[in-house]
Amino acid sequence: MEGKKNIIEKYSIYFLYIIFAVGIVGHSIDYTHDLMIQLTPLTLFITSSVLVINIALQKEKKYFLWFAIVFISTFICEIIGVETGLIFGNYIYGETLGLKLFEVPVIIGINWTLVITGSIMIAKFCKNKFLLFLIVPALATVFDFVLEPVAIKLDYWNWQNGIIPLYNYVSWFVISLLSFALYRILKIELDSKIAKHYYFIQIVFFTVLLITM
């Protein structure tokens, strides 16, 4: 059974690399750019589902309790953020990310949980439990830092006056820190290679698009 899980994970990782490679090429070519934009919600749904299914094979039930709590709490933060500008700054979501609830794309809560999951998996190299509380939120915040300029170009969201406030990144750090604290409190035992790759692939994806677009 363990061997079967490893095979599924290996080919799932290959699949993610192929999907995001196609995305890089498609976004970079004028002829297919608009099509890639239209396919964004479906692509994110498929790739995130692949990751979640692989994690589910580990049968770590506490992870999905954590997933649900982080999804709901970050989604609420986004709703408050859009309505008030208090948490992240003044911004609105565009149409690229698809289905919205209270003006926030549903995929956003899922993205929060998977980015933090990937950050946790990458940070496992560190054996100092105190440093982990710095490394994990730092990795999640770096992800947002790389994502932001491309997200604006692709109409994921737009900031008032085109300025990304510093406290957006502070909020990312704090929310990721609290999410990781909950992960530790629940004593979740998860070791997901695909989560690491998902984080890395997206970093490469948005970095290349920033250069090529």
DSSP conformation class of 59: T
Find the helix or strand (DSSP H, E) in which 162 lies: none
Please report, for residues 51, 97, 105, 171, the alpha-carbon distance to residue 110 in angstroms, rounded to integers and kept in the order given. 11, 12, 10, 17
What would the pLDDT profile of 98-121 be if each residue is shown by its tens digit? 999 999 999 999 999 999 999 999
For residue 188, pLDDT over 60 is answered with yes
What would the pLDDT profile of 166-178 be if each residue is shown by its tens digit? 999 999 999 999 9
- Give the mean pLDDT of the chain: 93
pTM of the model: 0.93
For residue 1, pLDDT over 60 is answered with no
Q: Where exactly are the structural domains of the chain?
A: 2-212
Residue with more model confidence, 162 or 23: 23
Q: What pLDDT is recorded for position 7?
A: 86
Q: What pLDDT is recorded for position 59?
A: 82
What would the pLDDT profile of 124-153 be if each residue is shown by its tens digit? 988 888 999 999 999 999 999 999 999 999
Please report, for residues 13, 77, 113, the alpha-carbon distance to residue 82 in angstroms, rounded to integers and kept in the order given. 34, 9, 19
Of all residues in the chain, the percent with pLDDT exceeding 90 is 83
For residue 3, pLDDT over 70 is answered with no
- Residue 100's DSSP bridge partners are 105
Q: What pLDDT is recorded for position 212?
A: 85
For residue 4, pLDDT over 70 is answered with no
Report which of 185, 170, 194, 191 is spatially closest to residue 66, judged by C-alpha positions.
185
Report which of 179, 163, 162 is spatially closest to residue 171, judged by C-alpha positions.
179
What would the pLDDT profile of 24-60 be if each residue is shown by its tens digit? 999 989 889 999 999 999 999 999 999 999 999 888 8
Cα–Cα distance between 106 and 87 in angstroms, integer? 18
Q: What pLDDT is recorded for position 161?
A: 86
Q: Are 88 and 165 in contact (CB under 8 A)?
A: yes
